[in-house]
Chain A
Amino acid sequence: MMKVSCLYLMLGLSTIVAQTTILRLPLFHGIFYDLLIPLVVFLSLNPPKRKGVLVVMILGLIMDLLSGGIFGIYLSVYFWIFLLVKSLSRYFDVGDTIFQSVLIGVCVLGQHLMFCISVADPWNGAQLLAAQTGPVLLQTIFAALTGPGILMLLGRLQTRFQTRSSGAQREMGSL
């Protein structure tokens, strides 16, 4: 389980590096949403759940350190997404693609809403919101379209990693 946590941590760090460099280029027209959200959703839905929280907290902390926003905003957003998805998984079929699509879209929208609240003031807030409406909608739609695919990829990655790890453990045991 420790290895799986490390894998997600590495994956998260790679994503952070990508989305603070390549994915923020004007070439992409701000279409890329926070790609850590599908990872947080996945960690919330799949084991290791307790260690998953730790991974989510570490990633949130790193994002807060890199971001120019209020310290702790990413940490809070990721933590609440983690809890929300975990709670919803009790009542809904989390394997359903449409549900996953809506869920990730809502999470991305929620994150933007949190950011908006954190930066808003009576004068700046309206202008900033007007400037951000287009990118926010674009990112939400893109998240809803690509989110289930990312979750599926993460699921496959975890299965493969666990199969390989258990195989290696069996070999070690036989030796």
Chain B
Amino acid sequence: MFSKRLARILCVILFALISIVLLSISAKHPHRYTIVDRVVMAGIVPFQEGVTRTMHFCVRMWDQYFYLVAVREECDRLKGMLAKAQMEKSRYLESELACQRLRKLLEMKSEVPHRMLPARVVGLDPSGWFKTVFVNRGTRDGVSKGMAVIASGGIVGRIIGASHRYAKVLLIIDRSSAIDALVQRTRSRGIVEGVTSESCRFKYIVRKADIKIEDTVISSGLDGLFPKGLRVGAISEISRPSSGLFQEVKVRPFVDFTRLEEVLIILE
């Protein structure tokens, strides 16, 4: 019994001494890099690295996901705001342009001493061969066949048919349209007929008549349709054939028929 007990005590003391000796040796050489260290390091560290990288990746993903969600939300919100702002800008621009057009129409209205009705162009002719438009004013507004239609630039055409709410306007560029007109500068009279979208023909201008390019052509008022003095267009081409009584004259209308939106109907 005693010897066993003594043996245990001796073992404990021995272990303690070994520990102290080993620690002492280790303390003497603090950074010794043994082969065991290398083996352990080679075996364990790659796994550590893998786990650490995975962990960092997960952490980064997690962080960035939440971050991106927040950024995405912010981005969507900003995009929405931008779209709204652009739409508002477009609306303001449209209002400004409409305002400019209407101001010109108003100026025109004050210049012409007749009762006039504003109208909006709502439809065009289905074919490119015929030049008519539809406006949103009809017999209920007092519109009737034969009334003159003008825009800020000058004469647009005349009403050739009207329903209760709408009316059809024959443009001056249609080949079946004719206006009794005169050259503002020299008072030479003729008839303006439609030819193409860009030009009209000024007929019956006698050879001796003094006319020049860019002379303004106005309505004479003698046709009973258009009041006197309304602007029709400017002379764009003059040719004097070797034979015949008249000059061949082309007139460029002042109104841009491709951008016609608002017009005025002369009710009287």
Contact A16 B126, beta carbon cutoff 8 Å: yes
Contact A131 B126, beta carbon cutoff 8 Å: no
Binds B, one of A40-48, A81-89, A121-129, A140-148: A121-129
Question: Is A135 positioned at the interface, with any CB of B under 8 Å from its CB?
Answer: yes
Contact A69 B127, beta carbon cutoff 8 Å: yes
A135 to B197, CA, bound (A): 13
Contact B195 A128, beta carbon cutoff 8 Å: yes
A30 to B196, CA, bound (A): 14
Contact A124 B127, beta carbon cutoff 8 Å: no
The residues in A between 57 and 71 inclusive whose CB is less than 8 angstroms from any CB of B are 63, 66-69
Chain A positions within 8 Å of B196 at CB level:
127-128, 131
Binds B, one of A18-26, A95-103, A150-158, A164-172: A18-26
Question: Is B129 positioned at the interface, with any CB of A under 8 Å from its CB?
Answer: yes
Contact B132 A124, beta carbon cutoff 8 Å: no
Question: Is A119 positioned at the interface, with any CB of B under 8 Å from its CB?
Answer: yes
Contact B128 A128, beta carbon cutoff 8 Å: no
Q: What number of residue pairs across chains A and B have CB atoms under 8 A from each other?
A: 69
Shortest distance between the CB of A34 and any CB in chain B (Å): 7
- What's the tally of chain B residues with a CB closer than 8 Å to chain A? 27
In the complex formed, the residue of B with least CB distance to A18 is: B126
Question: Is B243 positioned at the interface, with any CB of A under 8 Å from its CB?
Answer: no
Shortest distance between the CB of B161 and any CB in chain A (Å): 9
Given contacts A20-B123, A68-B168, A68-B174, contact A127 B128 (CB under 8 A): no
Shortest distance between the CB of B225 and any CB in chain A (Å): 16
A66 to B170, CA, bound (A): 11
A19 to B128, CA, bound (A): 11
Question: Is A116 positioned at the interface, with any CB of B under 8 Å from its CB?
Answer: yes
In the complex formed, the residue of A with least CB distance to B160 is: A68
Q: Mark A22-38, 1 if CB is under 8 A from B, else 0.
A: 00101000100010000
Question: Is B175 positioned at the interface, with any CB of A under 8 Å from its CB?
Answer: yes
A63 to B122, CA, bound (A): 16
Q: Which of A115, A121, A131 contacts B127 (CB 8 A)?
A: A115
Contact A131 B197, beta carbon cutoff 8 Å: yes
Question: Is A162 positioned at the interface, with any CB of B under 8 Å from its CB?
Answer: no
* A interface, CB within 8 angstroms of B: 16, 19-21, 24, 26, 30, 34, 63, 66-69, 112, 115-116, 118-119, 121, 123-124, 127-128, 131-132, 135
Shortest 7 CB-CB contacts between residues of A and residues of B: A68-B132, A68-B130, A131-B196, A115-B129, A24-B124, A69-B130, A20-B123
